Every structure is written in C-alpha cells, then in structure tokens.
Amino acid sequence: MLKLALTFLVIGLVLGLLGFGGIGGAFVGIAKILFFVALALFAIFLIVALVTGKAVKNAVD
C-alpha cells in the first residue's frame, strides 16, 4: 500500500509540474489518504501481534 501511495505522490507531483494542478492535487490527496490508512493498519497489526504473540508463545511452551 505504501508503494501505491508513493506512486500516486510521484504522479501528482509530475502533473503539478506540468501545469495540471487540479488533477495533480487529487493524486496527492489520494496518496495522503493511502499513507494514513497504511499507517493505521500497521499500528493495528502491531498491537494485535503484540497481544496475541504472547498467547501463542505460552500455548507452545
């Protein structure tokens, strides 16, 4: 998802440089949304892994 956000950011910046500010701004906005969604998913999965990882380790031992 971060790769997709980076792609949208680069395309948006190139479009902005070429004079297509409206569509370039839209691409940059989409890149921002994708970045924050990826950040939120990372935080959620990190918390879940920390909570359930101990339970799995205790079950194996």
Q: pLDDT, tens digit, for every residue of 33-47?
A: 999 999 999 999 999
* DSSP secondary structure code for residue 1 in this structure: -
Number of domains in the chain: 1
What is the extent of the structural domain holding 22? 2-60
Nearest CA to 31 out of 3, 1, 15, 9 is that of 9
Q: pLDDT, tens digit, for every residue of 1-60?
A: 889 999 999 999 999 999 998 999 999 999 999 999 999 999 999 998 888 876 666 666
pTM of the model: 0.76
Nearest CA to 25 out of 4, 39, 8 is that of 8
**Cβ count near 12 (within 10 Å):** 22
Cβ-contact 9, 27 below 8 angstroms: yes
